[in-house]
Amino acid sequence: MKAYTIDLRQKIIDTYESEPISQRELAKRFRVAPSFVVKLLKQYRETGQLAPKSRPGRPRLLDAEQMQVVQDLVEAKNDITLEELCSELHQQFELTVSNAYLHGFGRSDVHFGSPFNMVA
């Protein structure tokens, strides 16, 4: 799920500061979860910031350019194997990527022509 916009966050803060309204009523008015309102108000009180916190997790191995190369390779050669994709990425970018990583990448970002290409 994507983070709520800064504009919505600002409206919630402004309404809370200008009107005598409970956090639950505020959540109902803006159609957000009450826990979101509680966390937003706490974050605003402690830091003065409205921006969403960065999400934890490991950064992607492939950047946008490299993902586009994979997409282009798959479109150019529909029956390309995962091993061939790994080899091509290593040749072009000196980047070592496992078959398992590309398999997961294929399910989310690249649409392979045949499900049989997904076998590692």
Length of the chain: 120
Are both 69 and 114 inside the same structural domain?
Answer: yes
Indicate whether 112 pLDDT > 60: no
Question: What's residue 6's pLDDT?
Answer: 95
Are both 69 and 110 inside the same structural domain?
Answer: yes
Are both 40 and 86 inside the same structural domain?
Answer: no
Instruction: Determine the structural domain holding residue 42 and report its residue range.
Output: 6-47
In a domain, 83, yes or no: yes
The full DSSP string for 25-44 is HHHHHHT--HHHHHHHHHHH
pLDDT-based confidence at residue 4 (cuts at 50, 70, 90): very high
Are both 12 and 43 inside the same structural domain?
Answer: yes
Are both 69 and 43 inside the same structural domain?
Answer: no
In a domain, 12, yes or no: yes
Average pLDDT for the chain = 85
Are both 110 and 70 inside the same structural domain?
Answer: yes
pLDDT-based confidence at residue 49 (cuts at 50, 70, 90): very high
Residue 114 CB coordination number (10 Å): 8
Number of domains in the chain: 2
In a domain, 53, yes or no: no
Q: Output the CA–CA distances (angstroms, integers) from residue 96 to 62, 100, 113, in the order listed.
A: 10, 12, 24
Are both 84 and 113 inside the same structural domain?
Answer: yes
Are both 70 and 106 inside the same structural domain?
Answer: yes
pLDDT-based confidence at residue 110 (cuts at 50, 70, 90): low
As given in the structure block, the two tokens for residue 32 are: 């957000």
pLDDT in tens, 28-41: 999 999 999 999 99
Rounded to whole angstroms, the Cα distance separating 107 from 49 reads 36
pLDDT in tens, 80-107: 888 998 999 999 989 888 888 888 765 5
Question: What's residue 2's pLDDT?
Answer: 83
Cβ–Cβ under 8 Å, residues 10 and 50: yes
